[in-house]
Structure 1
Amino acid sequence: MKNINPVDTNSWKSLKEHFYKIKDLHMKDLFFQDKDRFHKFSINFNNQILVDFSKNRITSDTILKLLMLAKEVDLSGAIHSMFNGEKINRTENRAVLHVALRNLSNTSITYDNKNVMIDVNNMLEKMKLFSKLIINGTWKGYTGKSITDIVNIGIGGSDLGPSMIVQALDAYRNHLKMHFVSNMDGSHISNVLKKINPETTLFLVVSKTFTTEETLINANTAKIWMNEYFHTNDFLDNHFIAISMNVKNVIDFGIKLDNIFTFWDWVGGRYSLWSSVGFSIVLSIGFSNFLLLLHGAHAMDQHYLNTDFSKNIPVLLALIGIWYNNFFLSETEAILPYDQNMRRFPAFLQQTNMESNGKNVDRNGCFVRWQTGPIIWGESGTNGQHAFYQLLHQGTKLVPCDFIASVCPNNHVLVNHHVQLLSHFFSQTQALAFGQFEINTENKCNNISSPTKDSLYAFPYKAFEGNKPSNSIFLYQINPYNLGALIALYEHKVFTQGVIFNIFSFDQWGVELGKKLAKTISCSLINKSQEIQYDSSTNGLINFYKSFS
């Protein structure tokens, strides 16, 4: 990967000049001037996902200049470096090969002179075997009863991806009840333990290093809870499975080797749901549906790798995001899924994007002089409309939005709900783009022939400027294949932006300082007599706590 700062490229300078020329253009005019705009600025992926980016403050010239930026920073070379297993995560000297985890074409992918697909396929086979035993009831608990509940204990990438997918694919779930515990707050695991039976529960302890504090404190609480029920630790073989790279630490915890699912250092935490970290997904929707999830992601991988950038969905969405983040200085993006089961998708993308590209040092080791990763947030469907859409429509912030919906609902009984939901999906992007200045529009709906004094007074408050950008991502259905493709789309969008920002997207050193300080402060809290001097604020907070405890 080349280390080229985007602001030093000719295309960046050209984009700055272009921005001042078109920044005040209104989308109403862009659509009026080009009746074919939708067809020029939309892409159909395998007749399963339609991506409409026509409601953006861009012209064909904008796209050409953005594509030139991608060329100048050698995005193509960076993509091939990742797919070829080069160690592009340089601060940790690792490859970034989550694409290998869904490489169902089984083409050879070499890392450190070894075809990684051998280990990937072996682990997939183990997941298939174990999941079959657990789902069909052959796997028994310590007292001989079949498993009814699965508790996934993990945090970050060991929780967000699997829990999001299990929820999103609720229509595909089997009889097993799935629970996810991530927070160190004792309320989280306590609330789950109240719902389950020790004799029929299987715990999945998921930690890449098996040193993650939040995961281990919850795992030990679960272990103690089980021990208090059985009065022995002999239950571990029947009720605990570990997913980790650190086999020694897992065995020291008490989990036997056969119950350990491994993965590799080239699997980043927030990209690990495709690996054995996704075992909870397999147990929830079955192995065949998990394979469809991988197939969808693999199809998007091939699209990203082989499609010209001018028709490449992740590349174009990434470039449009940079256009707003760095030229309009919007700094934020809203993810708005019109599907209640997709309500955790914004939180999942927060980690995917913000932990990857929330960096202020470039690949040369210098502080950046441009905006890097945006703030990602959002909420599902019409819930968001009654919460923060007011700001989207009439606030002073420019918030580019991704609207996500499906043609076919997974709830086939209440189809009329879906029709009404889609009417909001369509109308919100229309309202954001084109606004409303006509005071008679509302009056006509109410059969009022002329505006009243009160309606004239309210006019400025009911005016919508419009010109608010959005992408519409319209899936045929929220199914395993399409969800896999959608997640991979966003993964590649994030990688594309990281390449252009000239940062390392696959480390996360920013999360370490707080953890380090917490260990020291923890000693101060446990040892009441120990007095360690921090800053006056931290001392004051600790002393307030100690005064009660």
Structure 2
Amino acid sequence: MDHLAALRAAGAQPVDIPSLFVGEPDRLDRLSLTVAGLHADLSRLALPLPILDQLLAAATAADLPGWRARLFAGEIVNPSEGRAATHMAERGQGRADHVATAAASATAVAACAEALRSAGVRDVIHIGIGGSALGPALLIDALGRDGDGPNIHVVANIDGEALARAMAACDPHRTRLVIVSKTFTTAETMTNAQSALDWLAAHGVADPRAGCIAITARPDRARAWGAGTVLDFATSVGGRYSLWSAVGLPLALRCGPATLAALRAGAAAMDAHFRDAPLASNLPVLAALADVWAAHAQGQQTRAVFAYDERLRLLPSYLQQLEMESNGKRVSRDGDPLPGASAAITWGGTGTDAQHAVFQLLHQGTAIGPIEFIGVKQPGHGLPATHHRQLLANMLAQGAALLKGRSFDAALALSGGDPALARAKTFPGNRPSATLLLDRLDAETLGALIAFYEHRTFAAAVLLGLNPFDQWGVELGKEMANALIAGEDLGFDPSTARLVALAGL
């Protein structure tokens, strides 16, 4: 049964957001929630309350409560791979045996971190790709400035420039390598690891592999490879959900194991809210319903995220993988073609930088999609208060301006009666946005924020009938790249064949 058919038909009708505040006196109360240090205001989205009620009914018809229960119970929610999704066990939620295994791993991670923090290690080169790099990079950038542990250099790109820059900043005799690969066969990661080992050996470091820390779901391979320390995590923890596991070691190294524990505790608070709150007052669910309404029903195929805090500058990149790898699918979990769009294209930047670049399109361009602002009440620096006041004022003003716009008559009065200039200065307004305002940015609130996005992605997937825990679309390009490296002729198109020759492969 297509639970969203009626909503797709309704999505063709334009929505005047300002009029919703007039006609829906309870709108602000129904679409504003505060959970685990996060205040979310979804009221300026183009989501009428009667449509929200239809979406809630569709979520029930799609068995969101049942899928949520299966997720927390550690049952199979990834049918294409026959797996549970147990990342919540890393923060103490889920089936008892999964939680116990994760707790033992957390103890090992804490012990490893304490040992390295007391061993005089100055730098750590963390080598991974995808979720094995995006998550740790976000954590270090957001929380690591004031840490007293080793400097962390996250390397993902197979482009040797990335690794060369990291190595140039390090003393090989005071550097340790952390190698993260779920299968311990990831081509980019293992190539970078070998080059880093060669660099250590060239500088006289004896037995470099013995000093390596391997983080993997295949500890047997890591031990056979020769890693001196092996930390494992479950195969049912997906890469883009793995920062809660041993993959979060860089945060424990830089800031101490207690910080990683606080990150998990903040996420657990959001887990409890997602598990226990009714759908109509459940923050991840409400955000997911709004996402599905905009992308699937209204055909708005982009969602922009702007972090008005420098410490969250990597969040849009992190969300790109979380959301687009999870829900960028064209068939349902049963293999049936979707009757409409799935995930929107996630993109974004950092305020106020982005205001002087992409906001021109957001205010006056022809592409329309929801815009998400993220701010923090308390600054993370000790500079004069004017910095933070300007930052938050700009964030709040952008959302208000997107909604209000400027009429042609108002623009004409500002343009000396010149109609052409007035048209250029006219803003249509009625552009949808949402705002997340954090009390502060510390390990707990960051954990809650990331968990909010995880659950939001899962809830949207259930409503659309998707499996958010596989990523088969990543594989085809890898297969063809391996064939190119091996010199195999796959019958490439004429353009690719010529480019292969020009590139010298």
Q: Which residue does 2:27 correspond to in 1?
A: 37
Letter in 1 for 2:446: L
Would you say 1:535 and 2:493 are equivalent positions?
Answer: yes
Match of 1:24 among 14, 36, 41: 14
Query: What TM-score do the two structures reach when normalised by structure 2?
Result: 0.96
2:372 to 402, 424, 437: 402
**Structure 2 segments unaligned to the other structure (5+ residues):** none
Partners of 1:217 and 1:128 in 2: CA distance = 28
Determine if the alignment matches structure 1 residue 513 to structure 2 residue 486.
no
**2:394 and 2:221 mapped to 1: Cα distance?**
51
Q: Match of 1:544? A: 502
Give the aligned partner of residue 99 of structure 1: 88
Counterpart among 416, 419, 434 of residue 386 in structure 2: 416
Note the C-alpha offset of 1:33. 3.8
How far 1:438 sits from its partner (Å)? Answer: 6.3
From 3, 20, 42, the equivalent of 1:53 is: 42
Matched, 1:64 2:53: yes
**Which digits, 9 at most, give the CA deviation of each residue in 1:129-165, with x for residues without a partner?**
1211222x2x2xxxxxx20001100000100011011
Give the drift of 1:37: 3.4
Query: Which residue of the partner structure matches residue 447 of structure 1?
Result: none
* Structure 1 residues 170 and 279: alpha-carbon distance in aligned structure 2, compared to 1, 3 A threshold: closer
The offset of 1:16, in angstroms, is 4.0
User: Paired residue for 2:425?
Assistant: 462
Residue in 1 aligned with 2:221?
A: 249
Are positions 1:337 and 2:294 aligned together? no
Q: How far, CA to CA, are the matches of 1:466 and 1:212 in structure 2?
A: 47
Which residue number corresponds to residue 71 of structure 2?
A: 82
The superposition leaves residues 181-204 of structure 1 with CA deviations (integer Å, 9 ceiling, x where unpaired) of 100011110111111001100110
Aligned pairs for 1:411-450 within 5 A: 411-437=381-407, 440=410
Give, in whole Å, the separation in 2 of the partners of 1:400 and 1:172: 34
In the alignment, what sits opposite 2:436?
Answer: 473
1:236 aligns with 2:209: yes
Contact kept in structure 2, 1:171 and 1:410, CA below 8 Å: no
- Aligned counterparts of 1:330 and 1:25: Cα–Cα separation in 2: 13
Amino acid at match of 2:290: I
1:498 is matched by which residue type in structure 2?
A
Note closer, same or farther for the CA distance 1:246–1:24 as it changes in structure 2 (3 Å cut). Answer: closer
User: Which position in structure 2 is the counterpart of 1:125?
Assistant: 107
Q: Structure 1 residues 76 and 451 mapped into 2: Cα distance closer, same or farther (>3 Å)?
A: same
Counterpart residue type for residue 453 of structure 2: Y
Whichever residue aligns with residue 460 of structure 1, its letter is: R
- Give 1:147-186 correspondences, 5 Å limit: 147-186=121-160
Counterparts of 2:467 and 2:455, CA distance in 1: 14
Structure 1 residues 389 and 518: CA distance shift in structure 2, 3 A? same
Separation of aligned partners in 1, 2:239 and 2:415: 59
Q: 1:311 aligns with which of 253, 272, 281?
A: 281
Identity %: 33
CA contact (8 A) 2:309 2:350 kept: yes
- 2:438 aligns to what SS in structure 1? strand
Q: Displacement of 1:58 after TM fit?
A: 2.0
Question: Which amino acid letter does the alignment assign opposite residue 156 of structure 2?
Answer: S
**1:214 aligned onto 2:188:** yes
Letter in 2 for 1:176: P
TM-score (norm 1): 0.88
Do 2:34 and 2:40's aligned partners in 1 also have CA atoms closer than 8 Å? yes
Distance in 2, Cα, partners of 1:32 & 1:270? 41
For 1:323 and 1:532, the matched residues in 2 are separated by 41
Distance (whole Å) between structure 1 residues aligned to residue 41 and residue 484 of structure 2: 50
For 1:66 and 1:108, the matched residues in 2 are separated by 27
Displacement after TM superposition at 1:305 (Å): 0.5
Pairs aligned (count):
505
In structure 2, distance between residues paired with 1:423 and 1:279? 36
How far, CA to CA, are the matches of 1:532 and 1:157 in structure 2? 30
Q: Report if aligned partners of 1:208, 1:244 keep a CA contact under 8 Å in 2.
A: yes
Q: Relative to structure 1, is the Cα distance of residues 70 and 372 closer, same or farther in structure 2, using a 3 angstrom cutoff? A: same
CA distance in 1, matches of 2:215, 2:395: 39
Q: Give the direction of change, closer, same or farther, for the CA distance of 1:500–1:26 in structure 2 (3 Å limit).
A: same
Structure 1 residue 440: deviation in Å? 4.8
Gaps of 5+ in 1: 140-145, 444-449, 525-529
Mapped partners of 2:412, 2:115: distance in 1: 61
Distance in 1 (alpha carbons) for counterparts of 2:8 and 2:130? 37
Once the 2 structures are TM-superposed, how far is the Cα of residue 38 of structure 1 from its aligned partner? Answer: 2.3
TM-superposed CA distance for 1:501, in Å, is 1.2
- What is the CA–CA distance in structure 2 between the aligned matches of 1:122 and 1:356, rounded to whole Å? 28
State the distance in 2 between where 1:205 and 1:414 align: 41
Instruction: Find the aligned partners of 2:94 and 2:481 in 1 and give their Cα distance.
Output: 43
Matched, 1:370 2:360: no
> Residues of 2 paired with 1:218 and 1:297: CA distance?
32
Paired residues of 1:170 and 1:341 also in contact (CA < 8 A): no
2: CA distance, partners of 1:92 / 1:37: 41
Moved more, 356-365 or 343-352: 356-365
How far apart, in 2, do the equivalents of 1:411 and 1:17 lie? 49
Give 1:183-194 correspondences, 5 Å limit. 183-194=157-168
Larger radius of gyration: 1
Paired with 1:517 and 1:242, the residues of 2 have a C-alpha distance of 28
